[in-house]
Structure formats: C-alpha cells, structure tokens
Amino acid sequence: MIDLKAKPYNLSEEDIAWVKNTIAGMTDEEKVGQLFFQLTASQDEEYLKELMEKYHLGGCRYNGMPGEKVLAQNKILQKYAKIPVFIACNPEKGGDGVCSDGTMVGSGIKVGATGKTEYAEAMGLVSGAQIAATGCNMAFAPVVDILYNHECEEVLSRSFGNDPKRVASMGKAYMDGLHKTHGVAATAKHFPGNGQDYRDAHISNNINNFNHDEWMATYGHVYKTLIDGGLDAIMGGHILMPEFMKDVKPGITYEEMLPATLCYEIMTTLLRGELGFNGMVVTDASHMVGMTNQMKRKEMLPLSINAGCDMFLFFNDPDEDYNTMLDAYKNGVISEERMDEALSRILGLKAKMGLNKKTKEELCPAGEELPTILYNSEFKEYSPAISRDAITLVKSLDKDVLPLSPENTKRIMIVPIKGADNPMMALAQMAMGGGIQRKTPAQKLQERLQEKGFDVFIYESPLDKIKAMMARGEKPSLNLYFAGKNSIMDFVSEQDLVISLFDVMNGHPAFGLSKGGGEIPWYVHELPVVGISVNKPTMLADCPMIRTYINAYDSNDDTMDALVDALVTGDFRGKDPIDSFCGMWDTRV
C-alpha cells in the first residue's frame, strides 16, 4: 500500500535503497523504537542520550523554551540517534510555537477572518524558517478542523473557520509556505476532523457526526486538497464517527465503535484507500481520554499501529509502553508486513526530508544565524498587517455609535470581563514569566483611546474592591456586593459610552455581580455599549443583548493599535470566519 516514488516522498532509487537497507539492518528493538514520538522532560544530556540509545526513538517533541535551548537540545538528540530523528513542534500560529522567542503571526481564526490565503502562507513560511533554524524538522500543523459547533473550544481559535473551502485553501497555503523551507514536513491535524462536538478529547469522547457523504463533501474535501498538494503527514485524532461507521460497516453497534486512531476503517480504508494518502500518520497524544478510555493500554498501543497509524505519540511510562509494543511485535500481534509498512513510511519521509544524506553535525544548524531568523524584521510585519485586516464588526444595530469620536462619546467606561480561573493557564503563565507585571487588555485599550482624545476609566467591580481590601488586610465590606443597584440617572450621567471588554479564554464570562453594577451590560438601552472580545470570539452567546459587537481575536499590541484605529475610523476589514451569532436568533436582534 506504499509507493515511495509517489507523493509525498518522490524518492530516487538511491533513497529507496537506503530505506530498505536500513530496515533490513535494524534489530527488533530499533524497529519498535521508530514507532514512538516522545515528549522530552529535560535538556540533560544523559537523559536525552538514553531516549535515543535505549528506546531508539523515531521522533521527539519538547516543551517550550527559547530558541537557543531548543537548538542545543536538538543537537544532542541527533548526536545520539542511530537514525536521524523527527523533531516536531506546534507552530499553529507561527514561530512562537517553535520556541518562546519565535515570531507569532496569527491564530487560525484570526487569519481566517482576513480571508487572505497569503497570510496563511506567511504563517507557514515563518514557521518553516524558524523550525529549521532551531534544528527542528517537522510541524504538527496546520490545524484543518472545521468549526461547526461554537462550543468546541478545543479548536475554536485554532481553526480557519466554518467553511470547508476556506479551511482547505488556508490549510494548503500554510503547507505551501512551510514547504518553502526545504526539509520541513507538514502534519495536518486532527484527522478525521474536530469541530462538531463541544467536548474536548483531552478529557472526554469527541464525536464527528457526519455520515460518509457529508464527510467527503466537507472534511474529506479539506484533506484531499492537502493530500493532492503533497501533504507529508497526518495526525490522527481520537474522534468517534458513528454515522460514518454505520455507512461503511452496517450492523456495527455503538459498543463496537472506536476513535479514529484505533479504527482500521477510518485510518486505513478511508484515509489510505478512499483518499489515497500515501504519507506518514502519527496519533494525537496518547494520554488523551478520548483514546485511553477505550481499552487497556497494553491493547491500545498495538491496535493503533494495526489500525493504520505509523507512529505513536508519547510514552506514558517509557519502559512499560516500549516493552508493550515490543512484545506485540515479537508475538505477531503487529505483523511483519505491518511493521515494514510503517517503517517504510517513517524512513521514507526522513529520506524525503534529506535527513539520510546529512552527517550528524549537519542535521542541526550551527546557530550563527539563529538570532537573525528569530528577529527577522520582515517576519514581524505580518502580525500588524493581519491585525489590520482581521478586526471584525460582527453586529451593529445602533448605526450612530461607530465610528467613535470624542465629540460624541468623550467619556468611556471600559468594563473588563474575564472568564473563570483556569489553573492550567495560570501554570503556563508562571512558566513563561507570569510574575512579570504586564498591561491588561483594558489598560492597553485605555491608553490608546486616551491618545485619541477620549476620557477613559476602567470599571472596578464590587468583588474586585472586596478582594483588594482583603489583600490589604482590611475587613471587607459586604455591603459593596449589595450596593450595585443605583439610580439609572446617576449611572448614565457618569459616562457617554461603555466598552464591555471580553478577555475570556475558555468557558463563559465570570460575572461577579448579577444585580445592578456595571459588569453585565444590562444598560444597553440606557447608554451606547460596544462589546469587544480580545480572545474567544463567541461572546454574543453569553451577552446577546449587546447591540454593537467586535471580534479582535487577541490583545497583542498591534491588534490593539488596529482595534482603536477601526473604532475611530469605522474601517473594519475582517469577515466573520465562523457564526459568531452562535446559531441563536436572540444574538442577532
């Protein structure tokens, strides 16, 4: 089922001979090691040496760190690898997914809002250059999921939108940009397609409800576009397809259904057979509950390979998982034919990337050009341009509100609205220097509006006042909580316009006060109110009463510059890449 002379490999006879001869010379232990991608936990050389020499890894992923450290680690990995190793990263928004000092270009949904494939290509181009500069060679990107369900937070900001044609064209453009850096492979995800189930496969099942024909016309179109364009690899998602499976396997019961990464009918019959994908497949992370809740782990590992996945993403316990897969191979659970096929794809892709023709010293760059590539001035120009073209005026029922001017609405109150506390986000911020005091989105917006001549103040909720009193060691006044109701006339007299600024990453807005006060925009018929989301673009579902609503997609400095320019000029260029009305009638009126 594999043709190394065809796309995406296009190998010469010499390269094919290298693949075959390398496989023929491998021990059982080395063969099994090539099936694994591992997430590294340390930059210690002895630890990295063990990964390569004890487990013979086919691929590695690492946690985020500066480019210099990424390059140093990658040099060690290749130094001890008998066969050159895939080193992957997650550049879904650009080079900031390669290393912490890489160049962010824009999220998928933000680029989707511009409607310009050249920006998607720029994401791939920047990613590819910074991948290669740090000694990496594979992108776990582009994300080509289609956002049909506004509650699907797993891919909400990562998808290019809800239109299969747009997702296909943007995904292919990203891949084309990535391929401009020779030797960097693209891995589209998450096959067979996320975006319908609100549940996150990290913690639950995830379901794609399309039947065969519906899937072929949507997700199938996306993947076929990339496959025909030379897609190197695919990441299989832990996604159940009940309606599809009923079509292709009549009589199947719900109890018999498996997520794609464990399902032969999806990963082999559909992907290899019907779509004709000849490239390499890696599973999504194997600690995700959408995979682990199906069966015992010792059964799950070999089944993923037999289903059609060529590589398995991440050990749980290295010795346990490695030996489980090794036993399955030695006992014939994984056949010689299936092992040879998986290895041919893995090594075939490494040959396509030219890794087989490089010395160990050549597999990673020396590093002299790393600062130039990480701080490339041309790369940094993409983000402001995307911000300018992405700001989206989704809803505008009060025609006299925009554009803003100091003459009409000089006094502006900004109401910051956060989401519920997310402990994982807090940990991530701490790891990235969260102790550094950074300006909030509200402060950034305040400064820029003041520069335009507005008088702007930031609303402080009663609960925030109570927290501040407690932080100072004072006894909090609970009367503050119940003092939210006041005269409408007094409230209206204090400002000319309110900006409800949503900075919600996940879940729903965490309104601390439900009676009166300024947090919930109950006053939309008393004062002009402009709702602006600087993260999650579906805030109308929670605040349908807002009559003017804008999606900015993030709160980067260049985004806030573009946002304020659009507010005062009325020049909103973005087109809603999803249904920001969330399929609800009351969000539109």
What are 302-352's pLDDT values in tens digits? 999 999 999 999 999 999 999 999 999 999 999 999 999 999 999 999 999
Q: Which two tokens stand for residue 255?
A: 């109890």
362 vs 443: CA distance, rounded Å: 47
pLDDT band at 455 (very low <50, low <70, confident <90, very high): very high
Q: Does the CA dihedral 456-462-465-471 come out positive or negative?
A: negative
Nearest Cα residue to 539 out of 572, 582, 576, 571: 582
Chain segment 78-89, per-residue pLDDT in tens: 999 999 999 999
450 vs 460: CA distance, rounded Å: 18
Among all chains, which residue has been given the structure tokens 């519920």?
A: 420
Q: Does the CA dihedral 498-504-507-510 come out positive or negative?
A: negative
Amino acid at 399: K
Average pLDDT over residues 166-184: 96
Chain segment 53-74, per-residue pLDDT in tens: 999 999 999 988 999 999 999 9
Q: What is the 3-state secondary structure (H, E, C) of 7-55?
A: CCCCCCHHHHHHHHHHHHCCCHHHHHHHCEEEECCCCCHHHHHHHHHHH
Percentage of residues of the chain with pLDDT beyond 70: 95
What is the H or E stretch that residue 169 is in? helix 164-178
**Is it the case that residue 519 has pLDDT exceeding 80?**
yes
Q: Would you call 78 helix, strand, or coil by DSSP? A: helix
Percentage of residues of the chain with pLDDT beyond 90: 87
pLDDT band at 417 (very low <50, low <70, confident <90, very high): very high
Q: Does the CA dihedral 288-294-300-304 come out positive or negative?
A: negative
Looking at the chain, the number of H-run helices and the number of E-run strands are 24, 14
**Is it the case that residue 421 has pLDDT exceeding 90?**
no
Chain segment 224-279, per-residue pLDDT in tens: 999 999 999 999 999 999 999 999 999 999 999 999 999 999 999 999 999 999 99
pLDDT band at 547 (very low <50, low <70, confident <90, very high): very high
Chain segment 351-363, per-residue pLDDT in tens: 999 999 999 999 9
Q: Are 190 and 92 in contact (CB under 8 A)?
A: no
329 vs 435: CA distance, rounded Å: 49
- pLDDT score at 262: 98
Q: Would you call 177 helix, strand, or coil by DSSP? A: helix
pLDDT band at 514 (very low <50, low <70, confident <90, very high): low
- pLDDT score at 472: 87
- pLDDT score at 484: 55
Average pLDDT over residues 550-579: 98
Q: Which two tokens stand for residue 58?
A: 């086919």
489 vs 10, higher pLDDT? 10
Lowest-confidence region among 185-194, 259-268, 491-500: 491-500
Average pLDDT over residues 362-366: 96
What is the H or E stretch that residue 565 is in? helix 557-569
pLDDT band at 424 (very low <50, low <70, confident <90, very high): low
Beta bridge mates, 419:
509
Question: Which sequence positions are flagged as catalytic?
Answer: 284
